[in-house]
């Protein structure tokens, strides 16, 4: 039975590795810029610089850019330098910021073009950074590295709204948008190169084979299909995001307003979720469960407690506790999921498989958001939330039955390929 090698005595922590710290700083900057844009654009609505309809157009345009760029970026990051993809994606998003400022209060179409470019930069960075992490960090330290990356995201989500609101008191929306551009510039320039190995994306002499993006992306899909646990886990993650996250995005504000008479429960629940995610990331960084795949899927299923707590009026503490549990669970899933993908997937196809992950899990999230409000109008809040909770509980349970799901590995109990070959740069 294969297991990841234990950390070697005397090896310094990944948090003292300059190459990883550069990657962490760049990923944190891109995460903060990604989170901040819709928040800052929202601040422009009460100021009169943007209408509610205009805000919807810009957010939709960003999503279009994201979905268009993710599969292409996955191919390019496997074909060329992952560091180079991060650089150009960040520079493109940084360059879009002045265009957005120029259109603010003047031209929504110009801002929409900038939003598409920004979304494309965001979508291109995600799979490239995921693959670059596997190049920069040795396998034995990737769990800690992924936990550090997700901790940065959660701290940003927790502290970002208050810090941005404070900044808005002295800075206008245009200055904040330029600040987002600066964050993208940091994301582009700070990370260093990884230790890339040659792979299937190169031909003789190390020169790239000129095949179409569609063919190469299909090769990535074929690699994903070779890992049944990955496809099953991705299906479960997509189902949970499309239902559970939609319940949070649409039903939680409605329930907070109608059942609890204001926005206090909304604020407390979202804060508890982020705090729980911080705790979950710290926990999974320090502990390695025996059946890490089943533990991760159980954590993913815990999101079902969020819509479950909204079905009937309960004490607000119950709702807050449910969201804290959901936050803990999501990081019990995220960190092992990213680490296992980096370990198990062929190194030269990692960015493409990661792009498939982001394309389905987060790319289909807007569909759930678009459908849940009409569903609530047609069937009522209780039945829709019951369906969301049931999906969140059932999808990971079904995924746990897939081959390799117990450990998020197809290597355990097999000898099809030597561990050294698979571990080289996964």
Per DSSP (E only), the strands in 4-50 are none
Q: State which of 247-251, 258-262, 354-358 shows the largest mean pLDDT.
A: 354-358
Q: Are 241 and 133 contained in the same domain?
A: no
Say what the pLDDT of residue 210 is: 60
Inside any domain, residue 314? yes
Mean pLDDT of 106-116: 94
pLDDT at position 161 over 80: no
Better-scored residue on pLDDT, 218 or 166: 218
Q: Are 224 and 294 contained in the same domain?
A: yes
Q: Are 32 and 107 contained in the same domain?
A: yes
Say what the pLDDT of residue 417 is: 41
Say what the pLDDT of residue 155 is: 84
Inside any domain, residue 245? yes
* Total tally of structural domains belonging to the chain: 2
pLDDT at position 391 over 50: yes
Mean pLDDT of 414-418: 38
Say what the pLDDT of residue 10 is: 41
Q: What is the pTM of this model?
A: 0.85
Inside any domain, residue 312? yes
Q: Are 182 and 249 contained in the same domain?
A: no
Mean pLDDT rounded to a whole number for the chain:
86
User: Which residue range(s) make up the domain with 36?
Assistant: 14-139+164-190
Say what the pLDDT of residue 412 is: 56
Burial of 161 (0-12, 13-18, 19+ CB in 10 A): middle
Of 25, 28, 33, 42, nearest in space to 181 by CA: 33
Inside any domain, residue 148? no
Inside any domain, residue 347? yes
Q: Are 392 and 244 contained in the same domain?
A: yes
Per residue in 211-255, pLDDT (tens digit) is 788 899 999 999 999 999 999 999 999 999 999 988 888 889 888
Say what the pLDDT of residue 164 is: 76
pLDDT at position 75 over 90: yes
Inside any domain, residue 244? yes
Say what the pLDDT of residue 328 is: 96
Tokens standing for 135?
């190049």
Per residue in 269-300, pLDDT (tens digit) is 989 999 999 999 999 888 888 899 999 999 99
pLDDT at position 413 over 60: no
Write the DSSP string, 213-278: HHHHHHHHHHHHHT-HHHHHHHHHHHHHIIIIIHIIIIIHHHHHHHHHSSSHHHHHHHHHHHHHHH
State the Cα–Cα distance between residues 293 and 3, nearest whole angstrom. Answer: 13
Inside any domain, residue 19? yes
Task: Report the CATH number that the domain containing residue 341 is assigned in CATH.
Answer: 1.20.1250.20
Q: Are 133 and 26 contained in the same domain?
A: yes
State the Cα–Cα distance between residues 158 and 277, nearest whole angstrom. Answer: 10
Q: Are 95 and 243 contained in the same domain?
A: no
What percent of the chain has pLDDT above 70?
90
Least confident of 234-238, 350-354, 358-362: 358-362
Q: Are 180 and 228 contained in the same domain?
A: no
- Distances in Å between the Cα of 305 and the Cα atoms of 27, 174, 302, 309 are 30, 40, 6, 6
Q: Are 186 and 252 contained in the same domain?
A: no
pLDDT at position 197 over 50: no
Q: Are 404 and 266 contained in the same domain?
A: yes
Q: Are 301 and 172 contained in the same domain?
A: no
Inside any domain, residue 213? no
Q: Are 123 and 21 contained in the same domain?
A: yes
């Amino acid at each position: 039975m294969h297991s990841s090698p234990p950390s070697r005595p005397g090896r310094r922590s990944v948090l003292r590795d300059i190459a990883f710290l550069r990657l962490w700083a760049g990923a944190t900057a891109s995460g903060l810029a990604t989170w901040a844009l819709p928040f800052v654009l929202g601040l422009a609505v009460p100021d009169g610089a943007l209408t509610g309809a205009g805000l919807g157009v810009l957010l939709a345009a960003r999503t279009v850019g994201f979905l268009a760029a993710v599969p292409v970026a996955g191919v390019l990051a496997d074909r060329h330098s992952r560091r180079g993809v991060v650089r150009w994606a960040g520079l493109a998003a940084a360059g879009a910021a002045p265009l957005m400022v120029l259109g603010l209060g003047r031209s929504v179409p110009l801002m929409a073009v900038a939003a598409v470019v920004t979304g494309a930069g965001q979508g291109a960075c995600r799979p490239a950074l995921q693959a670059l992490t596997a190049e920069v960090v040795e396998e034995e330290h990737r769990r800690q590295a992924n936990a550090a990356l997700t901790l940065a995201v959660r701290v940003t989500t927790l502290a970002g709204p208050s810090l941005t609101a404070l900044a808005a008191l002295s800075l206008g929306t245009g200055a904040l948008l330029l600040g987002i551009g600066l964050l993208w510039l940091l994301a582009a320039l700070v990370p260093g190169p990884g230790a890339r190995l040659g792979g299937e994306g190169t031909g003789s002499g190390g020169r790239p084979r000129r095949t179409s993006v569609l063919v190469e992306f299909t090769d990535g899909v074929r690699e994903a299909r070779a890992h049944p646990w990955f496809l099953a886990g991705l299906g479960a993650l997509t189902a949970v995001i499309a239902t559970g996250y939609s319940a949070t995005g649409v039903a939680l504000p409605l329930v907070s307003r109608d059942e609890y008479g204001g926005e206090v429960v909304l604020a407390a629940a979202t804060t508890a979720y982020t705090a729980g995610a911080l705790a979950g990331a710290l926990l999974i960084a320090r502990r390695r469960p025996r059946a890490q795949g089943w533990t991760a899927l159980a954590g993913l299923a815990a999101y079902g407690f969020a819509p479950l707590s909204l079905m009937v009026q309960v004490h607000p503490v119950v709702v807050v506790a449910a969201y804290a549990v959901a936050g803990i669970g999501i990081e019990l899933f995220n960190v092992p999921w990213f680490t296992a993908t980096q370990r198990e997937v062929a190194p030269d196809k990692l960015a493409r498989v990661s792009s498939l992950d982001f394309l389905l899990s987060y790319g289909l999230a807007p569909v759930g958001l678009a459908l849940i409000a009409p569903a609530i109008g047609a069937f009522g809040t209780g039945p829709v939330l019951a369906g969301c909770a049931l999906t969140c509980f059932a999808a990971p349970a079904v995924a746990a039955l897939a081959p390799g799901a117990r450990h998020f590995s197809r290597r355990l109990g097999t000898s099809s390929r030597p561990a050294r070959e698979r571990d080289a740069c996964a």
